[in-house]
Structure formats: C-alpha cells, structure tokens
C-alpha cells in the first residue's frame, strides 16, 4: 500500500509534475489498494502514457514498458529462448550425450526476458506500462489475461514464475476497437477526457512555467472552443502546450483571432480542420 | 451500504449496462477503501469498477444520484403551491452571481431555494424529475442572460464567451438535477425514481421518435461506433481461413514425399468486396435515418469495392460526389441538401416516379456485383408504386435489402406499401436503433450468397 487516500496519490503525482483530477487520483489510489490494473482510455494526447511515467516517478519505481503493435506475440511480450546462444553452447559441447546438455540450455542464462516477464521477475516493485493495448489482436490480448489476473507466467521449461511484488499496471487504449470483456473485467476503468479549462490552465502553467496565468487561461479557453467544433482531430493537451510555447516564443502577450489564425498549424493537423476553424471562429 | 449497492447494480442492469458479478464484488471491495462520506470518491470508485464503456457513464451518473446522492437537506421543504414565482428574478440574479464567482456553497443554497419555490412540486405525484427540471429552468431563464457579457470584440472572443456561458449553464442544470433527484428520492424512495429517470442508451434509442437531446446523443455515439465497426471488419478480413484445395500445388508438393499426398495446398481465399448502391428516402422524417445509414456505410467504405449513393424524395439524384474520404461527412450532407435535386413536384415521397427516373438515368449502376440497399418507410402517399420497375432493378442486383425504420406493426397500414416491395427484396429489416443498423452494415460487409442474414435483434 503506497498511499493512505486519493489525496495522497494526487499530491505525490503533483510533486512530479502530473496534475491529476479527482477521478484520476481516485483510480490510481484504488489500483494500488485493490491490486488491479488500470485501463486508461481516451483520445490521443490527454496524458494516458504520462500518467504511467508519473506514477513511476512519484513512487520511485522502475518503469517497464511494453509498446503494443499489430503482430505483437509471446516472444516479444513475454520471453524468448536465446537460440543463437543455445546453438553455440551445443557446438562447444560436442561429444556429450543429449541428457547432459538438455538441462543446461534451458536455464536462465539462455532466457531473453521481455517486458511482461521482466515486470514479474523484478526484484524491486515496478510500474508496468502496456501502451496502446487496442493495437494487438484479440488472441494476443488473451496472453495478457494470465499476467493481469495472477501476475504469474508459465514458462514450460522453468515452471510458473510468480511475481515477488505486484507491479502497478497501467494499460492505455486509444479505443480504436472494443477490448474484450475479459480484459476489461480485470481492470479498473479510467476514462481520461480533455481536461476542464481550470485543469488545462494549471497544466499549461506547470509545463510552461514562464507563461502568465492570464495567458494560460486564455489559451485553455481558446483550445476548448476549437475542441467544441466538429474537427476531425481535436487539439490534444500536448498540442496546447506546444501552442503556448509557440506564443511565448513569438513574444505574444494576448490571444486574439489574428495570432490564433497565424499559428493554427500548431494546434490542428488537418487542412480541413484548419479551414473549418478559420471560417467558424476566426473569420470576421 | 451493500444493500444500496445491490439495488444500484440491478438498476444499472435494468438500463442495459452489463455489470458482471465479479465487477460488483470489485465495487464492494473498492468501497472498503474510500471515504464513504465523500460522494465524489464513492462515485469514482464505483464507476472505475463497474463502468467500462464511456458511453454508459451518463446513465451511471443518473442512477448514482438516485441511490447515493446525499439525503434531503434539512429544512428544505417543497412549496406545494404554484406561487412563489415572484422571486424568480431575484433567485436568477443570485444564481448568476454564484456561478460567476464559482461560489459552490451559495450556488447549492440558491438551487435548493429555487427548487423549493419554482418546481411546483406535489408530493406523491408520479411525475418524472425531468418535468420539474424543465419547469425550474424555464422560470430561471434570466440566468443565462445575466451571465452573458456583451462583447463587441472579434468572433473568437464571442465564441469563447458563449462557451463559458454554456459551461456554467451545464453546471446549473447539473446542480438542479441533483437537488430535484434528492427530493424525489426523499418523497418516493430510490427504486421508483430511478425508473422514471431511466434513459435508453444511445444505441437503443428509437431513431424515429428521438427527441432533440436524444438525437444529439445518437450523433455523438455514431462516429465511434462506426469507427469501431470499421476496425473490426478490417481485422476479420485479414484473418479468415483458407480458400479451396489447390490440386495442382498439392500434387507438386507431394513430389517431395515420393508422391504421397501429405501436405494439402490451398488457394488464397477469394474475397470479393461487395459494391454498394444506397438508395435513401430523405423526405421529412426519413432524412435522419438516411443520414445515419449513410454515415455508417461510409465509415466502413474501405470494406466495399465501391459505394454509390442516391438520395430521393419525388426526384432522385446521384449524391456520391458529396461524400467520401476527402470530405467531412457533415459538410457533404450540407452540400447535398443545398445542391442535389431531390424534389420534383410537391416534396412528398413518390417511390413510383423515383424508380422510373432511376431506371431511365442510372440503370447501368446496378450490376450482378451490386448489393442494393434501400432505406425508407415505403409510404408512397397513395401514388403509383411501379413495383415492376423496382423488381427489374432488384433482380439485377446481387442482393437487394430494404431497411425500414418504422415498427413492423405499422407496415402496410395507411399508405405504406412495404409488402409490395418486400416481395422483390432479398430481405427486409426493421431497423429502429443504432445497434440494429450497426449489425446490418456488419453483416452486409461480410455477406455471401451461402449464408443468409441473421435477424438484427
């Protein structure tokens, strides 16, 4: 148990520069108490991955990261035998009987640890980040279930490896597909949406310390109004931070329609979105 | 607490949110660790353990307010008379000031007063909370004006100010709603109140009878649903089994084993993508349904070799040019309404004329590779149906489906001629919700002659 209550979790996260709202703090706190993984879902760039980084930093634990992609398999997620090394070993032992060697080549010396096994076998407690889990196929998802359920992995040659310490696990998803019920059931669900104006203002001031409070507020409000439009890709928090930096670099001290129009490319990545914003918000 | 949790869970299930027993147990475990005196903590703890789809959150919050909202405030009595409205102006001013200064304590107190004086509550009367909310809001209409800060700055500044006001008004609605729910629960107990407040999930709303607010919810649900369907279909296509036995390659491979046929070789599966022709009735009440169908179809357009769309009322026009990956869907729709020629005479559906025009001008569009999808209620205003022409078109297509958003029991009543057209179709479906629509599009994308379509329910 790391924290006494959700406020403690929020304070620790804030110390490392992550401004958690009540919801995030509550879920992080519960994840530790209930020893359950967090499934963080939401649009791109709202701080799902950085939540994991922040939890690791706040608890001074090592972060083990598994980046998911289509085609990710056991050998890349869990473990793999170091075939080349095994081959060398066999060659150097030429002349020995099979039963003498067999026991030798399936030992830890020849095991290539991948993120999931690494998190389970870690000596010290770690934070395990399974990033963009919606990218793997349904079948690969099943592989995660054993890990998330009991924090154990079965390697046929070595037996079952049980975690010494339950890691804090954070899965992120951009929700490009519905994850399986089985996976969702095992997790605490955390929907992270675009922050409120107040929270975004605080995030901006935290991340761009030179920014004045008035400017941060103005930027947050402008970005919210753009998000309200029917744009294809709404500006993320990281993009509003970039925009704040841009405005600062330009030496602007007030956000108006003109400067917004001139720097819109920082916030919006599609030409059609830029045009829409121009005509809906900025045209006079 | 456990009893309340149990009733809460059964209410969630009644709304249609799947909560497994394991999740309910997790919720109970989570409650051990949070301060049960803090409403927000309890809310987030229960949501994290039981709500795994963001779309369900709204229904969850409604039910949560009923079962876990703080009990009625001491001394806050309903005033049963319809009088007291003379204070409305004063209350509105107070509320506007409290919202403006972000003074939560004052806001809650004033909201309590407003509900007491303006709701016109009658104990025991079986009216839903929404009715009271509407009444109070109507009498507090001054608030919005008071919040508005007339600015003659540029458009951006005006938009930002308008969004500020909208956020504050949403805040007020939320507080009012909670206050009303709180008092209703005190009057009647949680279960009946939960029943009157129960709302259908976006994918279960009857498309034909949706209110404005419900249409907004459908609107925001459709894009993610369609996108997920597209991803799901793309994955299914990539997997899939093998094709037919390839005898030539099997024999060739057998040479390696001295002629024994040990390793059968298969052809790569042949998957033809269907070519879709959409014919959409966009007259009056059908327009919304047509656009949802179009939106779903275009979202999975990559699964089809081609999509062509025709819109009609009593005149038909090829509207394919307005849609596609390069245009935003909303913009395409706006252009369609503006530029397409859909009305010939009086703007009432005339299927007969439409088939005639379609055969005259676009007959070559429908080929044996085409899957024809018609959306409409088949209400022909007692005009000539020209089933013969429709039969010609439908028979030429690989398959012809008709989607009717009306309840099946209203088909063939009044001026509906569904049965006449149904005879010529491969299948006719009653599609009344997003869920059914999604299922239909999914099946059409995977459809082969061998497997008939399953029911959509």
Q: Clarify whether residues B290 and B354 are in a common domain.
A: yes
Looking at residue B401, its pLDDT comes to 92
Residue B230's domain is classified under what CATH number?
3.40.50.410
Instruction: Give the tens place of pLDDT for each residue, A86-129.
Output: 888 888 877 777 777 777 788 888 889 899 999 988 889 999 99
In this structure, are B112 and B18 located in the same domain?
no
Q: The tokens of B56 are what?
A: 């369900």
Q: What pLDDT does B419 receive?
A: 92
Q: Tell me, yes or no, whether B454 lies in a domain.
A: no
CB contact under 8 A, A224 and B22: no
For residues B233 and B249, membership in a common domain is answered with no
Chain B residues touching A280 at Cβ < 8 A:
159
Q: Which residues of A touch B48 (CB under 8 A)?
A: 26-27, 30, 188-190
CB atoms A34 and B29 under 8 Å: yes
- Is the interface score ipTM higher than 0.85? yes
Domain boundaries, chain A: 6-71+114-191, 79-113, 197-282
Over the stretch A225-267, which tens digit does the pLDDT of each residue have?
999 887 878 999 999 999 999 999 999 888 888 899 999 999 9
Is B212 contained in some domain?
Answer: no
Q: Do B125 and B44 share a structural domain?
A: no
- Residue B172 structure tokens: 């007020």
A20-76 pLDDT, tens per residue?
A: 999 999 999 999 999 999 999 998 889 999 999 999 999 999 999 999 998 888 888
Average the pLDDT over A194-222 and give the result: 93
Question: Does any domain span residue B297?
Answer: yes
* Three-class secondary structure of residue A99 per DSSP: helix
Query: What is the distance of C-alpha B265 from the center of its chain?
Result: 46
Q: How many domains does chain B have?
A: 4
Q: So what's the pLDDT on residue B116?
A: 82
| Domain identity same for B232 and B148 | no
**Interchain pair A27, B44: CB under 8 A:** yes
B193 and B322 in a common domain: no
Neighboring chain B residues of A256 at a CB cutoff of 8 Å: 154, 156-157
Chain A residues close to B330, C-beta within 8 Å: 230
What's the pLDDT score for residue B100? Answer: 85
Give the pLDDT of residue B70: 66
Question: Per the CB < 8 Å rule, is A176 touching B231?
Answer: yes
Q: Which residue from B341, B337, B371 is spatially nearest to B357, judged by alpha carbons? A: B341
Q: Which residues of chain B register pLDDT less than 70?
A: 70-86, 124, 126-128, 151-152, 235-242, 269-272, 326, 447-457
Distance from CA of B171 to the nearest CA of A (A): 12
Contacts of A23 in chain B (CB under 8 A): 44, 47
Residues B353 and B437 in one domain: yes
The answer to whether residues B348 and B374 belong to one domain is yes
On whether any CB of chain A is under 8 Å from the CB of B330, the answer is yes
A23 to chain B: closest CA residue: B44
Strand order in the sheet with A38-41: A62-67, A126-131, A168-173, A38-41, A188-191
CB–CB contact B33 A30 (8 Å)? yes
Over residues A136-140, the mean pLDDT reads 82
Q: Does the residue B214 lie in any domain?
A: no
**What's the predicted TM-score (pTM) here?**
0.80
Nearest to B129, CA basis, from B185, B68, B76: B185
Chosen from B41, B44, B334 to mutate, greatest number of chain A CBs within 10 A = B44
* CB < 8 Å to B51, chain A: 189
- Neighboring chain B residues of A220 at a CB cutoff of 8 Å: none
A176 to chain B, any CB pair closer than 8 A? The answer is yes
The parent domain of residue B182 ranges over 85-199
- Cross-chain Cβ contact A221/B160 below 8 Å: yes
Which helix (H) or strand (E) covers residue A218, if one does?
helix A213-228
Structure tokens at B74: 């001491």
Top-level class of domain A6-71+114-191:
alpha beta
State residue A179's pLDDT score.
86
Does one domain contain both B320 and B267?
Answer: no
Alpha-carbon distance A18 to B409, whole Å? 57
Cβ–Cβ pairs < 8 A, chains A and B: 101
Whether residues B232 and B354 share a domain: the answer is yes
Looking at the fold, whether B155 and B232 belong to one and the same domain comes out as no
């Amino acid at each position: 148990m790391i924290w006494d209550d959700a406020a403690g979790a929020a304070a620790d996260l804030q110390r490392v520069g992550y401004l958690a709202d009540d919801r995030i703090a509550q879920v992080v706190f519960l994840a530790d108490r209930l020893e359950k993984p967090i499934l963080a879902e939401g649009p791109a760039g709202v701080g799902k991955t950085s939540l994991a980084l922040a939890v690791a930093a706040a608890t001074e634990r090592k972060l083990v990261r598994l980046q998911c992609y289509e085609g990710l398999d056991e050998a890349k997620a869990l473990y793999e035998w170091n075939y080349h090394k095994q081959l060398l070993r066999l060659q150097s032992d030429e002349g020995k009987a099979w039963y003498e060697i067999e026991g030798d080549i399936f030992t830890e010396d020849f095991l290539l640890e991948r993120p999931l096994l690494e998190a389970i076998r870690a000596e010290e407690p770690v934070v395990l980040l399974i990033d963009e889990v919606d990218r793997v196929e349904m079948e690969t998802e099943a592989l995660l279930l054993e890990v998330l359920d009991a924090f154990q992995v079965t390697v046929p040659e070595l037996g079952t490896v049980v975690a010494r310490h339950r890691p804090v696990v954070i899965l992120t998803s951009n929700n490009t597909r519905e994850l399986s019920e089985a996976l969702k059931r095992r997790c605490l669900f955390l929907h992270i949406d675009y922050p409120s104006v107040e929270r975004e203002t605080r995030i901006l001031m935290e991340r761009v310390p030179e920014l004045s409070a008035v400017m941060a507020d103005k930027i947050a409000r402008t970005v919210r109004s753009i998000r309200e439009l029917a744009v294809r890709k709404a500006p993320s928090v990281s993009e509003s931070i970039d925009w704040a930096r841009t405005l600062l670099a330009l030496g602007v001290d007030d956000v108006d329609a003109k400067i917004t129009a001139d720097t819109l490319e920082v916030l919006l990545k599609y030409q059609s979105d830029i045009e829409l914003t121009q005509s809906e918000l900025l045209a006079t | 607490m456990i009893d309340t949790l149990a009733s809460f869970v059964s209410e969630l299930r009644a709304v249609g949110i799947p909560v497994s027993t394991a999740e309910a147990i997790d919720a109970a475990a989570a409650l051990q660790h949070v301060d049960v005196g803090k409403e927000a903590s309890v809310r987030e703890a229960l949501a994290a353990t039981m709500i795994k789809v963001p779309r369900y959150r709204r229904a969850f919050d409604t039910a949560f307010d009923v079962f876990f909202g703080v009990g009625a405030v001491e001394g806050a009595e309903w005033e049963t008379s319809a009088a007291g409205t003379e204070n409305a102006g004063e209350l509105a001013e107070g509320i506007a000031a409290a919202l403006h200064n972000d003074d939560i304590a004052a806001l809650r107190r004033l909201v309590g007063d407003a509900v007491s004086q303006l709701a016109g509550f009658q104990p025991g009367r079986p009216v839903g909370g929404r009715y009271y909310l509407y009444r109070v809001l109507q009498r507090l209409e001054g608030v919005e004006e008071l919040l508005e800060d007339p600015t003659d700055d540029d458009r951006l500044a005006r938009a930002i100010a308008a969004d500020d006001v909208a956020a504050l008004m949403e805040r007020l609605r939320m507080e009012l709603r909670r206050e009303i729910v709180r008092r209703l629960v005190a009057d009647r107990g949680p279960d009946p109140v939960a029943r009157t407040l129960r709302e259908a999930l976006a994918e279960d709303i009857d498309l034909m009878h949706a209110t404005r607010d419900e249409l907004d919810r459908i609107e925001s649900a459709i894009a993610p649903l369609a996108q997920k369907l597209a991803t799901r279909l793309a994955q299914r296509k990539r997997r899939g089994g093998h094709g037919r036995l390839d005898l030539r390659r099997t024999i060739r491979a057998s040479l390696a084993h001295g002629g024994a046929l040990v390793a059968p070789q298969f052809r790569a599966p042949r998957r033809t993508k269907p070519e879709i022709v959409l014919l959409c009735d966009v007259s009056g009440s059908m327009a919304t349904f047509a656009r949802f169908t179009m939106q779903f179809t275009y979202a999975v357009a990559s699964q089809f070799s081609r999509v062509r769309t025709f819109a009609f009322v009593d005149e038909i026009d090829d509207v394919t040019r307005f849609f596609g990956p390069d245009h935003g869907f909303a913009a395409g729709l706006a252009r369609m309404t503006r530029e397409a020629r859909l009305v010939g005479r009086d703007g009432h559906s005339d299927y007969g004329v439409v088939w005639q025009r379609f055969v005259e001008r676009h007959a070559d569009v429908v080929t044996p590779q085409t899957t024809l999808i018609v959306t409409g209620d088949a209400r022909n205003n007692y005009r000539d149906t020209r089933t013969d022409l429709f039969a010609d078109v439908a028979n030429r297509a690989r398959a012809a489906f008709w989607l009717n958003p009306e309840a099946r029991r209203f088909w063939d009543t009044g001026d509906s001629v569904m049965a006449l057209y149904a005879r010529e179709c491969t299948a006719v479906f009653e599609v009344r919700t997003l869920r059914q629509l999604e299922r239909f599009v999914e099946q059409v994308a995977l459809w082969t002659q061998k497997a008939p379509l399953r029911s959509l329910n």
